[in-house]
Every structure is written in structure tokens, then in C-alpha cells.
Amino acid sequence: MKQKKYLIDTTLRDGEQSPGLAFSMEQKVKLAVLLDGAGIYQIEAGIPAMGSYEKDTIIKIMENRKNARISTWNRMNKEDIMHSFDCHPDIIHISAPMSYVHIYSKLKKNKGWLQRNLQDCVSLAMDKGYPVTVGFEDASRADITFMISIAEMLKEMGVLYIRYADTVGVLTPSRAYQAVSEIRSHTGIAMGIHAHNDLGMAVANSLEAARAGADYIDTTLLGIGERAGNCNINQFILASEHIFDLGLSHNEACILNEKGREIIFRNKV
Amino acid sequence: MIRITDVTLCTIDHRYAQKDLLLRLYKLLLQTGINFIEINVPILNLLGEKIEYEKTILRVEHPSDINRYTGFIRYVCRHSGYDVPAGTISEFQINDVRELNLLRNLSQYLTVRFVGLDDLLQHDYLNIFERLKHLSDTQAEFCPQNSYYCATALAVEWILNGGENIAVSFCGSGGFAALEEVMMALRIAKRHKPNLDLSVLREVKRVYEELSGINISGNKPVVGNNIFEVESGIHVDGIFKNGANYEPFEPSVVGMERKIIVGKHSGRTTIEIKLMEFGLVFPDEKVQELLRKVQDMSIDLGRSITDQEFYELACNLTKW
């Protein structure tokens, strides 16, 4: 029997960050209905902190939702999470920088600050009754022992799963396998993979992470996303459907991609 | 030692190819850090004597052709049989890992190339790599194919796990691992040729597009026109502080430039950077209003807004 894996679609969040794309409310709602109807497990609907238009859009997506779980993406700060409360999503996702280049160089903070702030943010959302997932931003350039200690803390707090994010797309398949295996074996926490295609290896990296024990796979329609894009849902399913049960066949994913294309590029004709 | 063979020219339909463009692509590909370039006899007939024999591998249909076209560094031949001259790469197509069991004895071949194995990542690929390396007494070359979108990853993993020879093509032309992706991945993961100027890829792309009639997508890894465009407020802020925050490599490495664009996902920092770019002195209290107008316009248009549109919005707000 094939192992069950779950697709998390981030077309409406990371996908929309493709250079040049800007979805209207109508487009996002239509895409969410399409993804929901196709049996996608979770839809990352957007970033409430972007403003009232985005919030109204996510609320509309929630109203139209049938089966898929709807999540919102948040930076690791309380204001962002409060914006998410206004949308009443099923899951609150908090993205936490993990690499030293992000913690020390970009944010000018330290690991202690990250740990405390992450605890505060996770608690804020969980105290309100929201299931929480945490993204390990720039995990592919981060210290594995540090990530393990943070993962242990999050598991104790009751976080649903952590997402290993190859934010700049520099992961290789064997490193993806090794990192996911190591975090899983030391903490037992459930994991997801979020791959970028900067070196053309998003599908392979996601596949290897899944083989190593990541149960949640981030994909986008047509592989759209920041820079060279994210893991293409259609391609991932083709590469992995012989070993995993994804709840969606390759043929169904092809149809989904084509219907998605019509909505995504409605202004690009 | 890593040896990379580029097979792009063998994937191009020579019947419609212009000779000068072919020659230009041949010369450009040799500057991308590859060790050898592979051509076939029809391409050889078009390129004539202008080729560099010491860097060129000739693909022949039959081993007897080798005697007709002398002087090449190597020859590659499918179904070559055992009696081939030294320097001939015998090529084997393996579409499925189960076919490996049929390749028990390759020790009589001096050099072999394994083509295919698209589905290798669905199996214990590290173990299979070891089997492939030990099937032949001498060098094994791997030329993974891409029907499962994993060819680049397989080529990179082959090298990272002790393999030395791979065959690739520009932008994965013909369904192979993509030359530019493999070069960049090895540069990052293994520091292979870390100082090589890869800006030549811009011209390779231009000539390849003209020659093949294929338009390479804007988000194609490493060479796509839009891969260094950034709009998201969070990322613009991070990239402005240090490109390494959100980019896998410096745009200049591949002859490109970072471009900050404005639209629905822009934040205040993006607007301020863009105003600076235009040299506009803009009242601080109106930046937020400008941001809102940019976002509204972007949503209405369903795309990012152009520099000209941004400039006009900014000017209208201050009534210049």
C-alpha cells in the first residue's frame, strides 16, 4: 500500500509572488474553489497582514470552502497574527527565519530572540484555539542542531508540523533527505517541505524530502512562484505517484493545471 | 575530475539550422565550463573545419564510421558492439531500473554512457549509482533523461556521489539534464569552477532561441529573464540589505541584473527604493498613499505596474 502524503497548495501565496502576477479577489476565490474541488488537502490562501483587500479575499475563500483546510501565512510577529485572526482560518502558519544569514545579518537579532519571539507568536495563536504550523525559513542554509532544538520546543508546544523551506532554492536531493531524516529522527515532529526551483530541482528535492518522512508537500499550479518558481504540482505528482498516495492522479493534476492557467492568466492574453 | 559533455547540438534539427548560428552556438557552449561538446555527422557537415577537435566528441551511427571521421577526442556510438576503437563511448539506453539486471557484463567496454533512468529517484538511487559505476571497468558516464523532471538532480547527485562524467544539454534540450542548472548547482554545492564567468549564458540563450525557435520561459532556472525580478515587500527589504538573503547567487554571475518591480505585494520599502531609483524627492507623509494607489492599480490591471505607470502615479500625487 502506498504511503499517504498531503499536498499543500501555495499558489495563492508564494505562487502569486511570481514577478508580474497580481490576483484579484475574484481570481483567488475561483482558484481556491478549483483547488478545493480537486481534493487538495490544504490551501495557503494569502497574507492577511497585506491589508484589508487580502483579508476580505481570505474571508471569501473561507465562505466558499468545502473540504480543504485554509491556512494563512504570517511573519513571526504578533501584528501579523492578529490580522490572521480577522480571517478565521483553519490553520495559522508562522514563518520563522532559521539561517544565521537571516537571523544575524538580515534581522540583526540572535537565536535567543528568535526562540522567545517564536514561542510568543505560537502561543498567541494557539491560545486563541488555532492549530499552528511553523515554517523554517531558509532552512537549507541553517544549522541543523539549532533547527532540531527549535523543533523540539515546537513539538512540546503542540505545533501540527514544521515546514522545511528551501527559501533560496539551493537544496540538493541527498541534503533534503538527510536534513528531514535527521530532524524527524531526533524530534519525531511531523514535517513538510517547501521547495524553490532556482536550480531546477524543486521536484526532486520534494520527492526526496517525502521519502525521508516529510508528509506535507508544498506545490503550486504551473510551478509559479518567486524567482524560478516553486514545486510544480503536476510534475511532482508524475514523479511520485508510483510511491505515494497523494489523493490526486497525474491526469487530474493536468486538468487542474489547465483550468488554473485560464484563471491565473486571465489578463495576460 | 568532473567531465561534462554538452549534447545540445545533437538535439537541434539540423535541417532548418543556419550554419553561422550553429557555429556561434558551438563556440559559445564551449565557454560555459563544459569539457566536451558532442556533435553528430550532419552537424559536422554544416560546421566544417571550424571545430575544435580536441574538445569535440562525434556521435556516429556505426563504429565503422569512426575511420571515416578521424581526429576527434572521442566518439560515441549506440549499439556499438564490443569491437570498437579505443576512445569510443558505448551508449546504453536504460528506461527503467529493472533493465539494469540485463546489463551484467560491460567489462569489455572501455567507456560506457548510461542514458535514461528517468525514474531513478523513485528508487534507492545511491545504491544504483554504485552498481552503475561497477558495471564497467573504466569510466562510466551518466546522461539522465527528464520525463520525471528529475534529470538535473540526478546528474548533480551522480557527481556529488563520486561519479565523474555527465552528459547534459542547454535548457535540457532534447529531454536531458539542463547544462546551466547543473553548472550552477555544482558551483554552489561543490565549488566546481567557482570563478567561471557564466554571463555567456545570456548569449547562449539568445542564439539557442533563434536556432531552435523555442522561447525560453521567463522563470526558467538560471537563465530566465524574470528570475531576478522581485516585488514582495518582505523580500525587497531583505534583498536591499543583502542580495544573499533571498537570492541563490548574484545576478551578475549569469550576466543579469536585479530588478525591483512594484505592484500588489509591494511594501513601503519598495516604494521608497523605487522613488530613489527615479531620483524623485517625495513627501514622506504621502508614501503610504502612493503605496495604496500602486496596489490598487496592480490589482485592477492583474499585473505589476510598469516604471512609467509608477512615475506617473508618483507625479500625479505631488502634482508636478
Residues B50 and B155 in one domain: yes
State the amino acid at position B267 in one-letter form: G
* Owning domain of residue B146: 3-212
Domain-located, residue B101: yes
Size of interface A-B (CB pairs under 8 A): 168
Percentage of residues of chain A with pLDDT beyond 70: 99
Alpha-carbon gap: A179 to the closest alpha carbon of chain B (Å):
15
Domain-located, residue B72: yes
Nearest CA to B202 out of B125, B162, B257 is that of B257
Lowest mean pLDDT segment, chosen from A129-143, B74-88, B231-245 = B231-245
Report the Cα–Cα distance between both ends of chain B, in Å, rounded: 63
Cβ-Cβ contacts under 8 Å, A203 against chain B: 148-150, 153
What's the angle, vertex CA A132, arms to CA A126 and CA A135, rounded to 5?
135
Query: For the domain that residue B67 is a member of, what is the CATH number?
Result: 3.20.20.70
Q: Across chain B, how many H-helices and E-strands are there? A: 11, 10
* Average pLDDT value for residue range A54-69: 98
Query: For the domain that residue A166 is a member of, what is the CATH number?
Result: 3.20.20.70
b/e A217-237 (16+ beta carbons within 10 angstroms → b): bbbbbbbbbbbbbbbbbbbbb
For the segment A187-236, what is each residue's pLDDT rounded down to a tens digit?
Answer: 999 999 999 999 999 999 999 999 999 999 999 999 999 999 999 999 99
Structural domains of chain B, count:
2
Higher pLDDT, B18 or A75: A75
- Cell numbers 538527510 correspond to A178
Which of B158, B187, B212 is a domain's end point?
B212
Asked if residues B147 and B175 have their Cβ atoms less than 8 Å apart, the reply is: yes
Which of B177, B212, B247 is a domain's end point?
B212
Residues B192 and B314 in one domain: no
Cβ-Cβ contacts under 8 Å, A95 against chain B: none
* Owning domain of residue A174: 3-264
Is A201 in contact with B185 (Cβ distance < 8 A)? Answer: yes
Residue A17 is classified by DSSP as: G
Residues B76 and B135 in one domain: yes
Report the Cα–Cα distance between both ends of chain A, in Å, rounded: 44
* Average pLDDT value for residue range A13-26: 92
Structural domains of chain A, count:
1
Residues B190 and B297 in one domain: no
Alpha-carbon gap: A17 to the closest alpha carbon of chain B (Å):
6
Domain-located, residue B220: no
Residues B22 and B117 in one domain: yes
Q: How many CB atoms lie within 10 A of CB B306?
A: 13
Residues B53 and B124 in one domain: yes
User: Is 0.90 exceeded by the ipTM?
Assistant: yes
Domain-located, residue B33: yes
Nearest CA to B177 out of B26, B319, B11 is that of B11
- The burial class, CB within 10 Å (0-12 / 13-18 / 19+), for A185 is exposed
In Å, the largest CA–CA distance within chain B is 82
Residues B58 and B196 in one domain: yes
Domain-located, residue A269: no
Closest partner CB to A75 (pick from B189, B224, B234)? B234
Chain B's closest residue to A74, CA to CA, is B234
Domain-located, residue B21: yes
Cβ-Cβ contacts under 8 Å, A263 against chain B: none
Domain-located, residue B217: no
Which pLDDT does position B98 carry in this prediction? 85
Asked if residues B37 and B29 have their Cβ atoms less than 8 Å apart, the reply is: yes
Which of B182, B212, B242 is a domain's end point?
B212
Q: Could you give the CA distance from residue B273 to residue A100 in angstroms, rounded to a whole number?
A: 25
Residues B177 and B266 in one domain: no
Domain-located, residue A104: yes
Q: Which of residues 173-212 of B touch A (CB under 8 A)?
A: 178, 181, 184-185, 188-189
Which pLDDT does position B233 carry in this prediction? 66
Residues B38 and B179 in one domain: yes
Domain-located, residue A41: yes
b/e B42-81 (16+ beta carbons within 10 angstroms → b): ebbebbeeebeeebbbbbbeebeebeeeeebebbbbeebe
Q: CB-based contact (8 Å) between B148 and chain A?
A: yes
Domain-located, residue B218: no
Domain-located, residue B35: yes
Q: Could you give the CA distance from residue B160 to residue B152 in angstroms, rounded to a whole number?
A: 12
Residues B103 and B170 in one domain: yes
Q: Please, which residues bridge with residue A43 across strands?
A: A9, A70
What is the β-pairing status of strands B111-116 and B36-40?
A: unpaired
3-state secondary structure A22-74: CCCHHHHHHHHHHHHHCCCCEEEEECHHHCHHHHHHHHHHHHHCCCCEEEEEE
* Average pLDDT value for residue range A42-52: 96
Nearest CA to B76 out of B115, B102, B28 is that of B115
Is A203 in contact with B148 (Cβ distance < 8 A)? Answer: yes
Alpha-carbon gap: A233 to the closest alpha carbon of chain B (Å):
12
Alpha-carbon gap: B308 to the closest alpha carbon of chain A (Å):
15
Cell numbers at A112, concatenated: 535567543
Residues B44 and B144 in one domain: yes
Is residue A173 predicted with pLDDT exceeding 80?
yes
Residues B12 and B134 in one domain: yes
Is A268 in contact with B241 (Cβ distance < 8 A)? Answer: no
